[in-house]
Structure 1
Amino acid sequence: MKLFLWSICLLGVLVYKGSCLQVRYDGDQVLKITPQTSAQAQLLQELTSNWLLDLWNPDMVEDISTLREVHVRVPFSYVDQMKEKLLQQAIPFTVMINDVQKLIDKSTRSKSNTLPMSLENYDYKQYHPMEEIYEWMEHIKEKHSDLVSQHYLGNTYEKRPIYYFKIGWPSDKQKKLVVMDCGIHAREWIAVAFCQWFVKVIIEKHQNDPILTNALKQVDFYIIPVLNVDGYIYSWTHERLWRKNRSPQGNGTCYGVDLNRNFNSQWCSVGASRNCSSFTFCGPEPASELETKALVALMEPVKSNILSYLTIHSYGQYILLPFGYTYQPSENHAELTKVAETAAAKIKGVHNKIYTVGSSSVVLYNNSGSSADWAGDLKIKLSYTFELRDNGTYGFQLPPDQIAPTCEENTVAVMSIIEYLNENYLENNAVVVSSVWLNVILSCAICMYFTLTH
């Protein structure tokens, strides 16, 4: 019987990508709940803890509070009980996702392309499993070797390589850096899709966009398409809503660390758990994980050259500033806010989506040990967390038909940050302006010469 089931499963993998998940969510619902009183908030905390419910927003049970919207996945076995208790206590709620598994099936069941993969037929409007992303990276580095190089970042616990792209024109001078990480949280597939989309945009537009052309002469982009490789693969093959990496914890009693709680930035002080079974488990110590160690090893030696650090996540539609662990603003809070608000305005101009700007602790929730806060602690000028679409209608299962618009609007936002860097931090910008005025003066002199001599 097992052989028969595995045969069916294998057939599903050959025909449909990602349809062989071992953990299923049939009948699970995601509820939007807004407690009106402290007693209602306390009850919701107790239910979430006792039933080990998967909180989507906020991350921590302790952050459930009065008048704060809560998104929580309720297993089918608890759905009726949950709704009954909410109704008994007059706690307002609505159903955001009626059947989680149906939404997952819709997002993952894309028929395989029988053609050999090439950059010409690579579909940026679909989610891709890790083996295809590895292959895509190989094609990118081979076809665009003049601009792009692929580098080894480190290994995961399961011995898989983590790679990053270095994108920029060769230079004899010390170049500035913009660093982007994607896929820290395994289930946030849209973040991984965005990294690939952004690489494509740089390659396609670098010769026709003067700002990008100028930036690539002085800036190298370090782009990590998938940092949490093990977790991302696990979300395709076993458990679609897996979040952490896959390192064994608690003497093998549980698995995984939330990599975005594992950096040495007020590590595990707030908004993180020391319980290895929690989705927000911060790890046994700061930078305990191979993925975190690898990123730290990459950035620490060059931190003084990094102009911007961007970490890409979902969901909620935010551009978050440091810090999550304190309400105290960063030293350059005004600059960070100005740049982020410009980026949010650019986003709204594309598909009319509103992204909220502010420090994580103020507009979202408290958290510590994140990569963006760690970058902020390193005094990197422009450090942001981008929380992509949506506001909860689909949550972590954003349908493939929203990949393109999500990537389009956030590409414009990131390009606005690059434009700001170009105007304020890149030396050649002044040279370019001087050259323009020199040409104007020279043209005027030539005109005067011909006027006087004829």
Structure 2
Amino acid sequence: MHSSHMNKKAMWIDCGIHAREWIAPAFCLWFVQYVSTFSLNQEITDIMDNMDVYILPVMNPDGYHYTWNRMWRKNRSVSKSSKCIGVDLNRNFDANWCTEGASHEPCTEIYCGAFPESEPESQAVANFLRSHKDSVQLYLSMHSYSQMLLFPYSCTLDEAENHNDLMVQEAAQLIRRHYRNIYKYGSGSKTIYLAPGGSDDWAYNLGIKYSFTFELQDRGRYGFLLPPSHISRACNEALIAVKTIALKVIKKTQASKS
């Protein structure tokens, strides 16, 4: 590693924590291709010059593989206490773990697991972020569906203390201007519902103060069964949001250095 890059900041994007949300892994792969082929694009150049990018295209590979029967959400871990399979990985992080909005019951869709980070998938992500928390400034988790740009907290009605709402507001406005598509924005608990143990709240509490969850297309017409013909537009909408927020984070962190 060159010394000039020792202080380079980073962003993290994960996709597919919930198995049936297929547009999410599609976006991660879309983003990788976009970044590697559109090097003439000034915004992407600015982002790549200032940030390393870590991408986890499928956070829940076993669950994703299993969803070729289509509507499965959790991972595929076996429970000691029940014949029911799987933990909701986005209830398995150590952020108000298993309070209202999650369940201790293994047969539910929102089963929180036996304890925080009980699952190898969530533990691997948490370990990676813990060991890179000095460089990772921006955490993005891709979900579907409902067209929302969310920031902490989901696990409590408490307000997070920074400017994430302004960032997502601008991203939502740009999506609306370019694609005539509405994305709601706000804190997770007030915009959707209480959801403890989520990766975004956990990352935020770790010190990654720009932490977001995107709910991609659509608003319920197809739901999880979004047709392939919608992929490119859905990914372009998410791309606008990622670029907008990444550039804002870079600007803010450079301002705080000077």
TM range (shorter): over 0.9
Distance (whole Å) between structure 2 residues aligned to residue 251 and residue 266 of structure 1 = 23
Question: Which residue number in structure 1 is paired with residue 240 of structure 2?
Answer: 412
Per-residue deviation, residues 114-171 of structure 1 (Å, max 9, x unmatched)? xxxxxxxxxxxxxxxxxxxxxxxxxxxxxxxxxxxxxxxxxxxxxxxxxxxxxxx995
Deviation at 1:424, TM superposition (A): 2.1
Question: Which residue number in structure 2 is paired with residue 322 of structure 1?
Answer: 152
Alignment partner of 1:394 is 2:222: yes
CA contact (8 A) 2:147 2:218 kept: yes
Report the secondary structure of 1:319's partner residue.
Answer: strand
Deviation at 1:231, TM superposition (A): 0.2
Distance 1:348 1:426, change over 3 A: same
CA contact (8 A) 2:140 2:214 kept: yes
1:304-319 aligned within 5 A: 304-319=134-149
Question: Which residue number in structure 2 is paired with residue 85 of structure 1?
Answer: none
Per-residue deviation, residues 301-354 of structure 1 (Å, max 9, x unmatched)? 22132111000000111001101121110121xx10110101111111222110
Alignment partner of 1:217 is 2:44: no
Per-residue deviation, residues 395-418 of structure 1 (Å, max 9, x unmatched)? 110111111110011101111112
Distance (whole Å) between structure 2 residues aligned to residue 211 and residue 235 of structure 1 = 35
CA contact (8 A) 2:50 2:250 kept: no
Deviation at 1:250, TM superposition (A): 3.8
Question: Which residue number in structure 2 is paired with residue 279 of structure 1?
Answer: 109
Distance (whole Å) between structure 1 residues aligned to residue 94 and residue 207 of structure 2 = 14
1:108-257 aligned within 5 A: 172-206=5-39, 208-236=40-68, 239-251=69-81, 253-257=83-87
1:37-56 aligned within 5 A: none
Distance (whole Å) between structure 2 residues aligned to residue 350 and residue 172 of structure 1 = 35
CA contact (8 A) 1:185 1:243 kept: yes
Distance (whole Å) between structure 2 residues aligned to residue 294 and residue 393 of structure 1 = 34
Question: Whose RCO is larger (CA < 8 A, sep 6+)?
Answer: 2
CA contact (8 A) 2:27 2:235 kept: yes
Distance (whole Å) between structure 2 residues aligned to residue 170 and residue 337 of structure 1 = 35
Q: TM-score, normalised by structure 2?
A: 0.94
Q: CA RMSD in A?
A: 1.8
CA contact (8 A) 2:94 2:202 kept: yes
Distance 1:286 1:304, change over 3 A: same
Per-residue deviation, residues 422-441 of structure 1 (Å, max 9, x unmatched)? 322248x98xxxxxxxxxxx
> Could you list the runs of 5+ residues in structure 2 that have no partner in the other structure?
none
Distance (whole Å) between structure 1 residues aligned to residue 3 and residue 93 of structure 2 = 31
Per-residue deviation, residues 200-250 of structure 1 (Å, max 9, x unmatched)? 1111223x23333233233110000001000000001xx310000001014
Alignment partner of 1:359 is 2:191: no
CA contact (8 A) 1:211 1:422 kept: no
Task: Kindly provide the amino acid, as one letter, of the partner of residue 175 in structure 2.
Answer: I
Report the secondary structure of 1:304's partner residue.
Answer: coil
CA contact (8 A) 1:218 1:426 kept: no
Report the secondary structure of 2:224's partner residue.
Answer: coil
CA contact (8 A) 1:190 1:403 kept: yes
Question: Which residue number in structure 2 is paired with residue 347 of structure 1?
Answer: 175
Deviation at 1:365, TM superposition (A): 0.5
Distance (whole Å) between structure 2 residues aligned to residue 349 and residue 170 of structure 1 = 41
Question: Which residue number in structure 2 is paired with residue 375 of structure 1?
Answer: 203
Taking only the aligned residue pairs, the percentage that are identical comes to: 42
CA contact (8 A) 1:319 1:384 kept: yes
Report the secondary structure of 1:195's partner residue.
Answer: helix
Q: TM-score, normalised by structure 1?
A: 0.54
Report the secondary structure of 1:327's partner residue.
Answer: coil
Moved over 6 A (4+): none
Distance (whole Å) between structure 2 residues aligned to residue 263 and residue 300 of structure 1 = 13
CA contact (8 A) 1:312 1:386 kept: yes
Distance (whole Å) between structure 2 residues aligned to residue 425 and residue 177 of structure 1 = 11
> Could you list the runs of 5+ residues in structure 1 that have no partner in the other structure?
1-168, 431-454
Task: Kindly provide the amino acid, as one letter, of the partner of residue 66 in structure 2.
Answer: Y
Per-residue deviation, residues 249-292 of structure 1 (Å, max 9, x unmatched)? 14451110000000001100120011100010000000000001
Alignment partner of 1:289 is 2:82: no
Aligned residues: 256
